Chains A and B, each alone.
Chain A
Amino acid sequence: FVDVPGPCEPEDLIDGIIFAANYLGSTQLLSERNPSKNIRMMQAQEAVSRVKNTDGDAQTLTEVDLFISTQRIKVLNADSQETMMDNALRTISYIADIGNIVVLMARRRMPRTASQDCIETTPGAPEAKKQYKMICHVFESEDAQLIAQSIGQAFSVAYQEFLRANGINPEDLSQKEYSDIINTQEMYNDDLIHFSNSENCKELQLEKSKGEILGVVIVESGWGSILPTVILANMMNGGPAARSGKLSIGDQIMSINNTSLVGLPLATCQGIIKGLKNQVQVKMNIVSCPPVTTVLIKRPDLKYQLGFSVQNGIICSLMRGGIAERGGVRVGHRIIEINGQSVVATAHEKIVQALSNSVGEIHMKTMPAAMFRLLTGQETPMYI
């Protein structure tokens, strides 16, 4: 392991180490996604004062064993050795130590309905402004500082493993350097601007005969897209959708007859559209989008991985939080252009070569692979 400062041997942290402590209690806080260090300090102090005030002087202490490894942090009852808490290390947001107190801040899962409400009511709401639940566990120990340092070291060792798993050699860059690179990447926000402009959102009424299909092909918008909903990939000549003259290939469908399609699997969306067969009027809410997505990746140096992989011109994986995700890269999209050059007929090796040798600003145009196959006649449209 590359120079991970801390009181432990990194190998010991993989197996796990144990500290004795007293558990003082837990409390819950609401927090934005990535609060500043000052806000975190206030959160830690707030957690300590809440826990200390709960029971006052009559506070009962539970003697615990704190198990720390690069995988998880467990709290065991010192007497019975029963597991009281078990948190995956990656869900620990941060730790704080104040004198003989240690505060462990763990993220809680957001209720599914809350996350969906958020998407539906405020498309493109800044991620940082959303509130997330945080559970704060407070401990007391003479070794508080040592415990905090050991957890900090476990964070670093686990993060190095994560970087290696994503093809980044930690020896090539310090942790700070990598997070600096990430922070210099602006979120490519053309999508956000586009979705938040009400002129691009339309409500349409389509007329059709009873028993007639709508005459469309839909595809997924692709993992990594701002709004996970289906895209209109093709229209049947003379079908109700094409006849209306109100739809274009690339449009993202938000809802049909007041049923939201946002976040639903493709098959469910197809089922909803098939279910319209006996209707004579269909109401649709769409966002007009060009069929081609624009991507901008800023890569200051060849030593930084792009953070996505390509197979036969199609993006097949994306590193969460990497520079490519920030640039607008989406899984399942076919690369159409790189820096103004068409790569539609380019061999896979040449595309990989072009990407791996690109530094500075990398501009790409992409499109859902299924849409590309339909537009180029490689696939026969199955209209629904």
Chain B
Amino acid sequence: SALTITINPMEKHEQPQAAEE
């Protein structure tokens, strides 16, 4: 079956260090 990807547009504004555990 087809694989669909939906990227979070917030991703580019988010510092990886600030991500939660």
Q: Is the CB of B4 within 8 A of A148?
A: yes
Which of A54-62, A103-111, A192-200, A338-346 sits within the interface? A103-111
Cβ-neighbour of B3 out of A87, A93, A98, A110 (below 8 A): A98
Q: Is the CB of B3 within 8 A of A158?
A: no
Q: Is the CB of A33 within 8 A of B16?
A: yes
Decide yes or no whether A17 CB sits under 8 A from chain B: no
A307 → B minimal CB distance (Å): 10
User: Could you say which residues of chain A place their CB within 8 Å of the CB of B5?
Assistant: 37, 40-41, 44, 94-96
Q: Is the CB of B10 within 8 A of A110?
A: no
Q: Is the CB of B20 within 8 A of A162?
A: no
Q: Is the CB of A158 within 8 A of B1?
A: no
Q: Is the CB of B9 within 8 A of A94?
A: no
Cβ-neighbour of A107 out of B2, B4, B12, B19 (below 8 A): B19
For A279-321 the 0/1 string (1 means CB < 8 A from B) is 0000000000000000000000000000000000000000111
Decide yes or no whether A132 CB sits under 8 A from chain B: yes
- Closest A residue to B9 using CB positions: A159
Decide yes or no whether A230 CB sits under 8 A from chain B: no
| C-alpha gap A151/B4 in the complex (Å) | 12
Decide yes or no whether A252 CB sits under 8 A from chain B: no
Contacts known (A45-B3, A96-B4, A99-B1); A132 close to B16, Cβ less than 8 A: yes
User: Could you say which residues of chain B place their CB within 8 Å of the CB of A41?
Assistant: 3, 5
B9 → A minimal CB distance (Å): 4
User: Could you say which residues of chain B place their CB within 8 Å of the CB of A94?
Assistant: 5-8, 11
State how many residues of chain A have any CB contact under 8 Å with chain B. 44
Tally A-B pairs: CB < 8 A.
Answer: 89
For A136-160 the 0/1 string (1 means CB < 8 A from B) is 0000000001001101100110110
Q: Is the CB of B13 within 8 A of A97?
A: no
Contacts known (A41-B3, A41-B5); A34 close to B11, Cβ less than 8 A: yes
Decide yes or no whether A90 CB sits under 8 A from chain B: yes
Cβ-neighbour of A98 out of B1, B13, B18 (below 8 A): B1
A369 → B minimal CB distance (Å): 24
Decide yes or no whether A182 CB sits under 8 A from chain B: yes
Decide yes or no whether A179 CB sits under 8 A from chain B: yes
- Closest B residue to A178 using CB positions: B9
| C-alpha gap A113/B4 in the complex (Å) | 35
A124 → B minimal CB distance (Å): 17
| C-alpha gap A37/B3 in the complex (Å) | 11
Cβ-neighbour of B9 out of A87, A98, A151, A155 (below 8 A): A155
Contacts known (A98-B1, A108-B21, A109-B21); A162 close to B7, Cβ less than 8 A: no
Contacts known (A98-B1, A321-B12); A109 close to B6, Cβ less than 8 A: no
Q: Is the CB of B20 within 8 A of A88?
A: yes
Q: Is the CB of B15 within 8 A of A320?
A: yes
- Closest B residue to A132 using CB positions: B16
| C-alpha gap A300/B13 in the complex (Å) | 20
- Closest B residue to A43 using CB positions: B5
Contacts known (A41-B5, A44-B3, A97-B4); A162 close to B10, Cβ less than 8 A: yes
Q: Is the CB of B14 within 8 A of A95?
A: no
| C-alpha gap A155/B8 in the complex (Å) | 6
Decide yes or no whether A175 CB sits under 8 A from chain B: yes
Most buried by A among B8, B10, B13, B16: B8
User: Could you say which residues of chain B place their CB within 8 Å of the CB of A45?
Assistant: 3
Q: 23 A–B contact pairs at CB < 8 A?
A: A33-B16, A37-B7, A40-B5, A44-B3, A89-B8, A92-B8, A93-B7, A93-B8, A95-B6, A96-B3, A98-B3, A107-B14, A107-B16, A109-B17, A109-B19, A110-B17, A132-B16, A149-B6, A155-B7, A158-B10, A162-B10, A175-B9, A320-B13
Which residues of B are in contact with A by a Cβ distance under 8 Å? 1-21
